A and B are shown apart, each in its own frame.
Chain A
């Protein structure tokens, strides 16, 4: 489960009209953004056959697609904890068949795709959250994706591999932070986790309100990062989410809470809670828990009970501490933001940051990332 705003952005691009020239994305109702267009793109209707490593690369024809890499790291010498995020989005402003044929001669700047990238770094000890974004069009080599070798890039922010497949590398040089990390699946033989129904992740009742979604949930990561003028060598765990869709959210939803957790016992958990217009959990909320041995258990909205315990005091009321109960698995955790202020203060505002998982006795049993939208 991933972000709403590329969808809004894409919807805007598709439905761009002269009638409301000055409205900002923040002011456009979600329903409108999601309801508009989308039908002329390729649709996510039925499960597909995933082929790796080919599917790591781009899937043109769908309106939007993203590569979302997050992770928690520990500095090798000093032991500081860091969280990092690199999200690369491909957005097709117009459906392939609706693209106007280019007029001749054509400008090299004419592009059928635009790209957006968000990068962030959380310094837990320094209590700072760095965030940055960039945009580029897929023209003149400014941004784009290739499969051989695998490279997904916006400017010089890049997720890449030496060949078609991972191990890979993630590089970001931002305004006041940077990271250059190598990552590889911890278990080479473990297949990517297909989310939902064999990789078809339903986001609503209507046909097409879904995405193709898979995850590389447990990657080991190490490399160098810079923050606050200091350089650290760090290593830890990372997580790659891959998703593409033309209509990744049903109309009428107000937002979501998404969790990607690495548990110390070797299990990995993903769960997204969709919230309806009243803020109540929607029945299409879903997730998975994969044990250390790779055995996966699907989670539905009935399996997981989420309860916010503490909220941010300033600005939007993001829940910063959650209680997560999974009665069927006898799990009862609390999930704590490592740093309260991990708001992504970029073109679109949301909260995304590093969390700790504690058990009932307050012991840290896992780490991961949490993303929350729709509290604005």
Chain B
């Protein structure tokens, strides 16, 4: 009976502050929503990435690959020798209606055991494939999305050339086949211009066949296990996704502050009531349970709303995540959103756990409320201030732990994130004390600037710290995060841009864009390079051949380069051996990019084994160079040894160096006309254009980061809004006295605005050092540990805009949040407020 009354009494009080309740639920909703959205988008992207790898690999237990693809006759040889469950594959990337598709050339007659989603052998879809040299199948979903129906012709672009295919049918089997064009191997060879060769042979082998097949393979072919390779490829996207997940947790952290704030407020506001209830016989435990229950109820409502919002948001994020993965890893995830219940449950649990954690302290406070505290309003405020140094000390310890974690050499990505978390939380714990100190320091300045109002506002902030502290901390955290991420992106861009300037010493670059093969870039026509070199005004050319080669640890990108004199200077080595270039030219050494070294754990002087035409060939790592071109990394060897050992003297890229004092425009036009005479697909690009394009891709990669940053800020604005709203209610009487003493509404409003402005300003000021620290962690610890990239660390003066924007953001966020509460206070009738007294 007492318990019910207790609940009722507290609930009534809460109902009067339903705005407060709604806002704290919204805070949780936002936090949970962002976490769930990122989680879902990540999961779906990863899932479709894996599905697309798996569906291409099928049920194969093994796979035969070659140094330069495979001679198609090997397949027949295996068949004749009783290796029956074998499926030849020719594959390449094509564009259909501007979208990337994987053209998968198969032998339908050998398929049934391999790719379960492929149509059955006795279906007319497969029959349609066998029927024509231009017939392809696509998934029903893709066909519907693109508005293509079976029987229609469609234009595809293969290595820049346009070809016509007939959509012979659609595959209706579930998730399989999305992003694929399935063709008979004869058609695929013709469309991709890959006569006589295979990319691989998929196999289902038993133990005795494994032994047998090894004797049948030529020296330049290798038997590999596709599952391991798929895992390795899928793992590539992981650091990127971990980054997103970590950012989403920031939003949740901010949400936690909001609910903490709200719970704390509800306790403060109901102190009298709680004191009365204690006097009436309510136990500590009852009050504790009551406050926790309230918080939990709000948390539950918020978390549930967060799940809905998260699912909705994930749909938008998925597009960005999938696009980034495509840009970074050259895979084509289908991008279908999935809603696995365990992820939703995880989001819900996270939201509730955070709510409980955030409400713990206020609930304890409520339970501890002494009955006589009814009249002593100043008591909690005093205690809160007394405890500030304790919190700050705890914060200091946390930040020290962060520093220690960051300093441990060879630590993982996770420890980097934990360090970041400690740093943020530690700083936020210390934030109220810092704000108080800041208020003291600023007092004379404010007095001088705004007179008594300035001092009044500052004191008010100091006095109200038990209420404004968490909100201030939340805003600090959010703004610091935007600084950290902003600085990181800026220094990333500066690094990439600097690298681009150095890495592209040539004036023009010539290639055929879009590969018809996964394995090798499209070759330039023979004779073309010589013709370009012979043009007057061309000082030198460098030529390159880009292929995928097999290493002991799976496929890797290899560039075989014939260097121009200026090429050598285009490499910036992080480590190298002394006689590096001679070793490279002789074919004894390779130079590898930083991410490649990072992923494979290689140092200069180590050895790598590459599968060449005559079998495995060892190279010494002569140097490790900075490269932001590929997250997977790449190896470089000299072209002459490559041509000899791989039996491939094709050229896929030319770098053209003009001699000084030439009319660059005229020469470019000449080269373009030479190119057009050879092959219309050849693209001549200036180094400036490449730079521009690369930076555009870069911007796209960070689009999602920007979205998340704004979500974190939104959560913080919400937090500060709810804190200020509550604060203004608290101040109702204070303001009434001011009004009664003759202040106008405008003056009261201005005073309120000044106070909230102070909160925003302080949060912004505190966020500056924290943001800088975050950026250092991201640049020096987390990024190298995630991707292997060394980024230039920019001093704050070189990116002042990031810091100034953040400060303005904090100020603006606080003022915006203070608008409505200020307006309400100013409008309140002083008589009504004073009557309560």
**Which A residues form the contact surface with B (CB < 8 A)?**
9, 12-13, 16-26, 93-94, 100, 102-103, 105-111, 114, 134-137, 139-142, 155-156, 173, 347-348
Residues of A within 8 Å of B170, CB to CB, are: 21-22
Q: How far is the CA of A338 from the CA of B195 in the complex (A)?
A: 51
* A107-B186 contact, Cβ under 8 Å, with A22-B125, A23-B123, A140-B72: yes
Q: Which of B74-82, B249-257, B329-337, B768-776 contacts A (4 or more CB under 8 A)?
A: B74-82
Known A108-B196, A347-B121; judge A155-B131 contact (CB<8 A): no
Q: Which of B103-142 contact A (CB under 8 A)?
A: 107, 109-110, 112, 119-125, 127-128, 130-133, 137
- Docked pose: A25 CA to B412 CA in angstroms: 56
B168, A13: Cβ atoms closer than 8 Å: no
Residue of B nearest to A102 (CB): B133
Q: Mark B550-579, 1 if CB is under 8 A from A, else 0.
A: 000000000000000000000000000000
Q: Chain A contacts of B187 at CB under 8 A?
A: 107
Task: Provide the residues of chain B in CB contact with A20, threshold 8 Å.
Answer: 124
CA distance A12 to B122 in the complex (A): 9
Partner of A18, one of B112, B123, B128: B128
* A18 near B73: Cβ-Cβ < 8 Å: no
Interface check B172, CB cutoff 8 A:
yes
Given A9-B122, A17-B124, A25-B122, check contact A155 B195 (CB 8 Å).
Answer: no
A220 to B98, CA, bound (A): 65
B131 lies within 8 A of A16 (CB): yes
Which residues of chain A are within 8 angstroms of B82 by Cβ–Cβ distance? Answer: 155-156, 173
How far is it, in angstroms, between the C-alpha of A135 and the C-alpha of B122 when the chains are bound?
12
B150 at the interface (CB under 8 A from A): yes
- 0/1 interface trace, chain B 309-350, chain A, CB 8 Å (1 if under): 000000000000000000000000000000000000000000
Number of interface residues of B (CB under 8 A): 42
Min Cβ gap A201→B in Å is 26
On chain B, the residues within 8 Å of A94 by CB distance are: 131
CB pair A19–B190 under 8 Å, yes or no, is no
Chain B residues with Cβ under 8 A from A17's Cβ? 124, 128, 151
* 9 A-B contact pairs sorted by A residue (CB < 8 Å): A21-B170, A93-B130, A94-B131, A108-B196, A136-B79, A137-B130, A140-B72, A140-B75, A141-B80
B124-A16 in contact (CB<8A): yes
Give chain B residues whose Cβ lies under 8 Å from the Cβ of A142. Answer: 75-76, 79
**Which of A16, A19, A100, A156 is in CB contact (< 8 Å) with B80?**
A156
- A9 to B, closest residue via Cβ: B122
The chain B residue sitting closest to A140, CB to CB, is: B76
The chain A residue with its CB closest to the CB of B193 is: A105
Q: Total A-B pairs in contact (CB under 8 Å)?
A: 118
CB-CB nearest 5 A-B residue pairs: A21-B169, A18-B151, A25-B122, A135-B109, A109-B186
B164 to chain A, nearest CB (A): 12
Are B190 and A21 in contact, CB atoms less than 8 angstroms apart?
no
Chain B contact residues, CB within 8 Å of chain A: 72-73, 75-76, 79-82, 84, 107, 109-110, 112, 119-125, 127-128, 130-133, 137, 150-151, 167-170, 172, 184-187, 189-190, 195-196
- Kindly list chain B residues whose C-beta atoms are within 8 Å of the C-beta of A106: 186, 190, 195
Assuming the contacts A107-B185, A141-B76, asked whether A18 and B131 have C-beta atoms less than 8 A apart, the reply is no
In the bound complex, what is the Cα–Cα distance between A100 and B135 (angstroms)? 13
When distances are taken between beta carbons in the complex, the residues of chain A under 8 Å from B72 are: 108-109, 140
Bound form: Cα–Cα A139–B186 in Å: 10
| B207: min CB distance to chain A, Å | 14
Instruction: Report if A109-B185 is in contact (Cβ < 8 Å); known contacts: A21-B168, A114-B109, A347-B121.
Output: yes
Q: Is the CB of A347 within 8 A of B76?
A: no
Are A155 and B123 interface neighbours, CB within 8 A? Answer: no
A155 touches B184 (CB 8 A): no
Query: In the assembled complex, how far is the CB of residue A63 from the closest CB belonging to chain B, in whole angstroms?
Result: 14
Instruction: Report B-chain residues with C-beta under 8 Å of the C-beta of A13.
Output: 127, 130-131
CA distance A135 to B80 in the complex (A): 13
- On whether the beta carbons of A24 and B73 are closer than 8 Å, the reply is no
Chain A residues, CB < 8 A from B123: 21-25
Q: A156-B79, A348-B122 are in contact. Are A108 and B195 (CB under 8 A)?
A: yes
A93-B130, A93-B131, A142-B76 known; A22+B119 contact, CB < 8 A: yes
CB distance from B778 to the nearest CB of A (A): 51
Residue of A16, A21, A134, A155 with highest tally of chain B CB at under 10 A: A21
Question: Smallest CB-CB separation from A178: which chain B residue?
Answer: B82
A109 touches B128 (CB 8 A): no
- List the A residue with the shortest CB-CB distance to B196: A108
Residues of B within 8 A of A141 (CB): 76, 80
The CA of A152 and the CA of B563, in the complex, are separated in Å by: 55
Q: Is the CB of B184 within 8 A of A109?
A: yes
Residue of A nearest to B172 (CB): A22
Q: Which residues from chain A contact B127 at a C-beta distance below 8 Å?
A: 12-13, 16, 93
Contact B128 A21, beta carbon cutoff 8 Å:
yes
Given contacts A140-B73, A140-B76, 11 further A-B contacts (CB under 8 A): A17-B124, A19-B151, A21-B123, A22-B125, A94-B131, A100-B133, A102-B133, A106-B186, A136-B79, A142-B79, A347-B121
